[in-house]
Amino acid sequence: MSTAAAGPLQGLRILDLSTVIAGPWASTLLADLGADVLKVEMPGVGDPLRALPPYKDGVPLWWKAANRNKRGITLDLRRDEGRELLGRLLPEHDVLVENFRPGTLDKWGITKDWLHGIHPRLVILRLTGFGQTGPYRNRPGFARVFEAMTGFTNLCGEADRPPLHLGFPIADAVGGLFGAIGILAALHHQRQGGGDRPGQEIDCSMMESMFRVLDFLPIEYDQLGVVRGRSGNTSQYAAPGNVYQTADGRWASIAASTQRIYERLCAALGRPDLVSDPRYATNRDRVAHRAELDQALAAEIAKHRIDELGRMLEANEVGFSPICDIADIFEDAHFAARQAIVSVPDDELGTVRMQSVVPAFSETPGAVRHAGPSLGQHNQAVFRELGLTDAQLDGLRAAGVI
């Protein structure tokens, strides 16, 4: 029973052994684009993500979004019977995703040699906190750890205040993105060889994924010796770029990163003198005098309500957005026109709404077919496909294998 639909990855089959966010998110991104993903959870308890809020009537909502478009089964991989059933599932899949600590699957007998002995072309994504090698390989890893360790958290907050963590585990999302890219790259390499090339392991470190996103920080330190720190909402590389309060108490984020946009911002606010002022002649000058410039701009912006300011800046083609919350987003005309939020069927909650598929394809669009499965929802269908009888399934269930 496949749930795969039309999409650029139609026909790709993924076996997802991973838990919580980053690993499951990697496979979910591919499921959105048509891949058939089979999610494997521990019997009885399931993925630890099920234990994280928010809930509705005891149903975990984060789980529903993070594991959408997947079929779900339970299987205790620590048991010989569980490993045997995993071996029977492997030939039907192109990719295996796991995010256990390095060596965990090996202890259960699920080694690379065992996996490739059954399915030589299997692509294996190993998504871990610190990678398969190095002195930190066995450390427990969480998004906040990677964000702090890579210097990202040191950039967040006011200069004279403690560093701030974001209210969302951004490193998990970043790690999942790099994991999904790794899978697609490995499959491309394999298919360039006519599909006969052996499958390879992908060692995706969430620490390194988060570090990669910080783009110019290493070369800046290497070449200039600069240790970049916190600057609140102020852009460190362009001015003006800040968050400003409007007359009705709302907050606006404005970016004027190029000379022409800066000039249009000054025109919109009726301050052409800020263009001719030699302190603000170039972006380098503006960055050097950002405090005075921000003070002048903040005073002008505070004269206008958020809707009026928006019209003025849009008319002058200045980058701008109110600071939106999720309620604002649900009412936004552009989100609606783009169908960025879609209604999705769910077997426990009826209909739920969540983000649509990104990116959009002209000829082979992906789709959100259903929300994340309930625990063991597809046990009967999947294991019957392997030839197991109802009596065998009852026995496995009683023994805690499924």
Active site residues: 172
Which band of pLDDT confidence, cut at 50, 70 and 90, is reported for residue 200?
Answer: very high
Average pLDDT for the chain? 96
Q: What percent of the chain has pLDDT over 70?
A: 99
Mean pLDDT over residues 115-137, rounded? 97
**pLDDT at 31 (0 to 100):** 98
In this structure, CATH architecture of domain 241-245+251-322: 2-Layer Sandwich (3.30)
- Mean per-residue pLDDT, 5-22: 94
Count of beta carbons in the 10 Å neighbourhood of residue 99: 26
pLDDT digits (tens, 9 = 90+) for 350-397: 999 999 999 999 999 999 999 999 999 999 999 999 999 999 999 999
Alpha-carbon distances, residue 40 vs 33, 85, 98, 314, 337 (angstroms): 20, 11, 10, 48, 36
Structure tokens at 63: 């789980």
User: Is the confidence at residue 4, as pLDDT, over 60?
Assistant: no
CATH 2.120.10.30 correct for 13-213+337-398: no
Beta-bridge mates of residue 350 = 346
- pLDDT band with cut points at 50, 70 and 90 for residue 331: very high
What lies within 8 Å, CB to CB, of 41 at 6+ separation is 19, 47, 72, 73, 74, 75, 375, 376
Q: What is residue 354's predicted lDDT score, i.e. its pLDDT?
A: 98
C-alpha 355, offset from chain centre: 12
Mean predicted confidence (pLDDT) in 123-150: 96
pLDDT at 310 over 80: yes
What is the model's pLDDT at position 183? 98
pLDDT classification of 5: cutoffs 50, 70, 90: low
Mean pLDDT of the 43-55 span: 96
Q: For CATH 3.40.50.10540, list the domain ranges present in the chain.
A: 13-213+337-398
Confidence of residue 166 (pLDDT cuts 50, 70, 90): very high
Q: Given the DSSP bridges, would you call strands 59-60 and 55-56 parallel, antiparallel or unpaired?
A: antiparallel
pLDDT at 195: 78
- What is the rounded average pLDDT of the residues 113-136? 97
Is the predicted pLDDT of residue 202 greater than 60, yes or no? yes
Please give the pLDDT value at position 2.
42
Is the model's pLDDT at 97 over the cut of 70?
Answer: yes
Percent residues over pLDDT 90 in the chain:
96
Q: Where in the chain is the domain with CATH 3.30.1540.10?
A: 241-245+251-322
Structure tokens at 143: 């998004």
- Burial call 315-350: b when 16+ CB within 10 Å, e when fewer: ebebbbebeeeeeeeeeeeebeeeeebeebebebee
pLDDT confidence of residue 194: 86
CA angle 157, 158, 164 (to 5 degrees): 20
**What are 256-270's pLDDT values in tens digits?**
989 999 999 999 999
* Whole-number pLDDT of residue 139: 94
